[in-house]
Amino acid sequence: MNQIDFLQIGQQKGYIQLLNDKKRIHYVIPNKKYRFTDPEEKVRARFYVELIERFQYDQSRIGLEVTVPRRTPSDSADIVVFQDDDQKDPFIVVECKKDGISEAEFEQAIEQVFGNCHSLRGHYAAVVAGNTRRSFDVKNYKPGERSQNIIADPPVGYGKVQEWRYLKGVPHSELTVIERRELIRVLEKCQDTLWQSGKLGPAEAYDELAKILFIKIRDEKKPRRKNEPYDFQIKTHEKSESVAKRINGLYQEAKEQDPEVFTENIKIDDNLLFSVVNHLQGINLNQTDLDVKGVAFERFLGSYFKGDMGQFFTPRQVVEFMVDMVKPNHEARTLDPACGSGGFLLHAMDYIRKQASDYYDKDSPEHYLHWHDFAEKRLFGIEVNDSIARVAKMNMIIHDDGHSNVISNDALINFDILYRQHSGFEKDKFDLILTNPPFGGIIKQAEKPYLSDYELGKDKISQKTEILFLERCFDFLKWETGTLAIILPDGILTNSSLQYVRDYIERHFKILAVVSLPQIAFSHYGAGVKTSILFLQKFSEQEYDRYQAAIDQIEGKNKSIYTPQIEELENERQTIIKNGSPAQIDVTENYRQQFISILDNIDTLNQKLGKEPNKKVQGLSTLFFPEIESTPTTEFELFDTTTARAELEAQTSALNALEKEYKEAFKAAADSEWVSRIKAEYKEKIDVVKEEWEEKNVEDIREWVRENANHLIFMAIAEHIGYDATGRKDPINDLKAICEEYRKFTENPDFFG
C-alpha cells in the first residue's frame, strides 16, 4: 500500500489550509494558525488529519496546544482528542516531534506525554515522530508503567484497542510504501538507536541491523490471508522481552532456510531490538521501488563505512557508467571477484530489470523472470571480508534477491577451493566481469603460496593485489567473448617498472577502451590514487595460442643468442676464482718451478716404465706447466726397472709433500673479500646480459603485437564525474557523454580513426 498523503487529503477536504507559500498552516475548525516551516508542525498536521480520517474522530473534538493544568502556564499538549463537544473530557493526548529524533529524545517525549496525560486525566497517550510512534494505555495502569501498557495504536472512534496494528490487506492497517527521503530517515533512526548503545562499531552495528532487516523482509513475503497480522510488529500490551522472543524465533526459522546469509544469532539486547522494530514495523520494504531502495541504502551504507571500510564501495556514478558501457544482457554470467557491498552486482541487476521493461509489461510474469532469473542464476560475487560479504548479500536481498551466489573468500586462492565452496566459480565460464579490485595490497609468497601459481607472480617474493586480480579475471572469463571492465591505478599504465603488466594485458586481451578518471574519483572514501577504467575482451583460444607460439619462437631465438654469452661469463668467473686471489697467484708462482722439476722427473720415469700418469699428476701438470714446454732439469740414467720404480716412488712422495705444503700456503693466502668482489662483478655482467635479453624479448614481442594485432582503441579523459572530492553532487558528468561517444565509436571506429 502506498503511503497515504494525509496533508493532501486534509487540504482537499478542508481540514487544513497551507498559506503564504506553505510557510503557515491554518487548522480550519480549531481556527488556529502556526508556522509550517517548523518540522514538528508538519508531523502534527499529518497526524491531525490521520486522527480524523483513519481514527474517525470529529475535528470539532480535537484540540491543539491544549493548556495542561497544574503545570507552568507555558506547558501545553500538542494534540488532545476529547470525548465531548465542549472539550472538557480528554481521551487521547499526543506529543509530536520532528522525524529523526534520537532514542534519548524519544524517551524524553514519552515522559512528557505521560505528564500531560496524567495532568489532563486522559485515557491514552501517543508520541509521534514521523514513522516512529508509540502509544500507551495510561488510565488503566499505574503512573510509572511504561512497558506493560504499550498498545498497538490508539483506539478507533472511542472503541476497543486493537491487538495488532498492521494487518494484511486491510485499508489503513496495511504496511506503507515510503519515499526515498523517508526510508533514509528510518534507516538513520535505526542506525542512531544501535550506535547510541555505545557497544557496537560500524561493521557490527550494520551486521545487527542487517539481521533485523532480513527478518522484516522475510516476514513481509510470508503468505498471509487478508486480516492476518504481520509478525514483525509490536502488539498491544507487549513488552520488549516478548517482541524479542518472537523476532528471534523468526530469525532462527529464516537462518534454517537461508544459512548462507547469517551464521550468528542476533546479539543486541531486547530493548534495542524493540526500538528498531518500532522504527521499521510500519513500512513495506519489499514493495518500495528498487531505485528508492538503491539510493537510500547506498547513502545509508556510506554513513556506516568510512575511511578504511570505504575500500568496499565504488561511487554510484562510476558503477553506472561501467555497466552502461558493457551493456550486459540477461543471459550473461556476470561476476565481481571483489564485490564489496555489491554495487556492481546490484547495478547490473537493475540494468537487466530496466531492460525487461523494453520487452514485457512491467506486471507480467515474463518481465519478472527476465531479470529475476538473471539475479538468481547468473549474478556472482566474491568478497574476502566476511562482514562485508554479508552486507552484499543483505543488499541483494533488500533489492529483491540475487544473493545466493555471493560467497566470502579470497578470490585469488586456488580454483579448486572456490569450486568446492560454490560450483558456479569455474575457470573460463563468465561472460562479464565488473570490478574495482583492492589497490595497494601486497601478496607475499611467504604468506600466500599461491603467488607462484600466477604468471604475474612467478619468481617473485611479492606482488600487488590489483595485478594478480587482473590475471584472475582473465582466468574467470570465457574465451573470445568474455569482457572485463576493471578499475586500475594509473601506475599500471604508466610506470616503466610495470611494463611487463602492460605486456601481459596486450598478450591476453583485446583493449576496447581506456577511460581516465580524475584524481578525486575516490577521495570521498579516503583514497587519492589516480585511476583509469580498462575495458578488455579476452582473446579466443586460437588467438592466444597464436600469440604464445610467436612469443615462444621469439624467446627461443633470443635464447640461442644470449645463453652462450652468459655461459662464457660464468666459465670466466669460475676460472678466475679457481686460480685464486692475487696473493694466491703469487703463491702458485713461487711453487711453480719446484712442481715443474718433480713433475718432469715423474713424466720421464713413467715413460721409461711405460706407465700412464695418475690423476693427481695430470691435475698438477695442468695447473703448473706453462703453455710453452719446459726443459727437464734432471735426466735419469736407468739401468733396470727396479731402480726406476724406486726412483718413481721417491719422486711421488716428494710431490705429495710439496702439494701439502703448497695447499697450506695457498689456503693461508685466501681473500674472501676478493672472492665476493669477483662474484659481484660477474653477477653484474651477467645481469646486464639478462636485462638485454629480456628487453630484446619485450621489444621483439611488442613489435610482433604491433604488426599482427593492430586495432583502434577508444580513449577518453573524464574531468567531471557527477560529484566532487567531498562526495557532493557536481552538475557536470563527463561519463555520460563518454558513453555516448563510445557507442558511436563501436558503430563506426574508422570515423574516429
- What is the predicted pLDDT for the residue at 73? 59
- What is the predicted pLDDT for the residue at 308? 47
- What is the predicted pLDDT for the residue at 198? 67
What value does the CA radius of gyration of the chain take, rounded to a whole number of Å? Answer: 42
What average pLDDT score do residues 196-213 get? Answer: 77
252: left (phi over 0), alpha (psi -120 to 50) or beta: alpha
pLDDT grade, residue 254 (50/70/90)?
confident
The string of pLDDT tens digits covering residues 422-451 is: 999 999 999 999 999 988 789 999 999 999
What average pLDDT score do residues 323-341 get? Answer: 95
Burial class (CB in 10 A: 0-12, 13-18, 19+), 491: middle
DSSP 416: H
- What is the predicted pLDDT for the residue at 57? 96
| Residue tagged 478507533 (cell numbers) | 156
**Helix, strand or coil for residue 283?**
strand
pLDDT grade, residue 71 (50/70/90)?
low
- What is the predicted pLDDT for the residue at 543? 87
First to last CA, the chain: 55
Closest residue by Cα to residue 371 from 396, 395, 394: 396
pLDDT at 632 over 80: no
- What is the predicted pLDDT for the residue at 309? 47
Closest residue by Cα to residue 102 from 138, 65, 124, 130: 130
- What is the predicted pLDDT for the residue at 104? 86
Q: Which residue has the higher pLDDT, 313 or 253?
A: 253
CA distance 421 to 79: 59
Question: Which amino acid is located at 503 in the chain?
Answer: D
What average pLDDT score do residues 513-525 get? Answer: 86
DSSP codes of every residue in 651-705:
HHHHHHHHHHHHHHHHHHT--HHHHHHHHHHHHHHHHHHHHHHHHHHHHHHHHHH
Cα angle for residues 636, 640, 641 (degrees, 5° grid): 90
Highest mean pLDDT among 119-133, 248-262, 306-320: 119-133
pLDDT at 151 over 90: yes
Q: What is the CB neighbour count within 10 angstroms for residue 677?
A: 12
CA distance 87 to 83: 7
**266: Cα separation from own chain's centroid:** 24
Cα angle for residues 231, 232, 236 (degrees, 5° grid): 75
Question: Which amino acid is located at 745 in the chain?
Answer: F
- What is the predicted pLDDT for the residue at 310? 46
Closest residue by Cα to residue 147 from 135, 129, 165, 163: 135
Q: What is the CB neighbour count within 10 angstroms for residue 193?
A: 24
Q: What is the CB neighbour count within 10 angstroms for residue 21?
A: 7
Burial class (CB in 10 A: 0-12, 13-18, 19+), 150: buried
State what percent of residues in the chain have pLDDT above 70.
Answer: 92
Q: For residue 270, what is the enclosing H or E element?
A: helix 270-280
Whether 344 contacts 319, CB under 8 Å:
yes
Closest residue by Cα to residue 661 from 604, 601, 620: 620
Closest residue by Cα to residue 472 from 517, 430, 506: 430
Residues 6+ apart with CB under 8 A from 73: 67
What average pLDDT score do residues 372-382 get? Answer: 93
Task: Kindly list the distances between the CA atom of residue 324 and the CA atoms of 293, 359, 432, in Å, as whole numbers in the listed order.
Answer: 20, 18, 13
Closest residue by Cα to residue 213 from 297, 122, 334: 297
Ranges 181-190, 495-504, 520-529, 741-750: which has the least confidence = 520-529
Q: Which residue has the higher pLDDT, 2 or 68?
A: 68
CA distance 90 to 109: 19
| Residue tagged 560479504 (cell numbers) | 389
Closest residue by Cα to residue 283 from 165, 458, 445: 165
Query: What is the overall mean pLDDT for the chain?
Result: 88
CA distance 483 to 535: 7
What average pLDDT score do residues 507-522 get? Answer: 92
CA distance 157 to 52: 9
Task: Kindly list the distances between the CA atom of residue 72 and the CA atoms of 75, 76, 119, 193, in Å, as whole numbers in the listed order.
Answer: 6, 9, 12, 32
- What is the predicted pLDDT for the residue at 118? 94
- What is the predicted pLDDT for the residue at 86? 94
- What is the predicted pLDDT for the residue at 77? 95
Task: Kindly list the distances between the CA atom of residue 170 and the CA atoms of 158, 166, 215, 353, 657, in Å, as whole numbers in the listed order.
Answer: 20, 8, 22, 30, 116
pLDDT at 736 over 90: yes
Residue 222's φ and ψ, nearest 5 degrees, are -60, 135
Whether 355 contacts 370, CB under 8 Å:
yes
pLDDT at 635 over 60: no
What average pLDDT score do residues 3-21 get? Answer: 91
Task: Kindly list the distances between the CA atom of residue 316 and the CA atoms of 171, 353, 357, 601, in Å, as whole numbers in the listed order.
Answer: 37, 17, 22, 94
The string of pLDDT tens digits covering residues 311-329 is: 557 888 999 999 999 999 9
121: left (phi over 0), alpha (psi -120 to 50) or beta: left
Polymer length in residues for the chain: 753
Whether 77 contacts 120, CB under 8 Å:
yes
Closest residue by Cα to residue 264 from 393, 390, 385: 390
The string of pLDDT tens digits covering residues 174-199 is: 998 888 888 888 888 888 888 766 67
pLDDT at 37 over 80: yes
pLDDT grade, residue 305 (50/70/90)?
low
CA distance 122 to 91: 5
- What is the predicted pLDDT for the residue at 302? 65
- Predicted structure pTM score: 0.69
CA distance 509 to 539: 5
| Residue tagged 487544513 (cell numbers) | 16
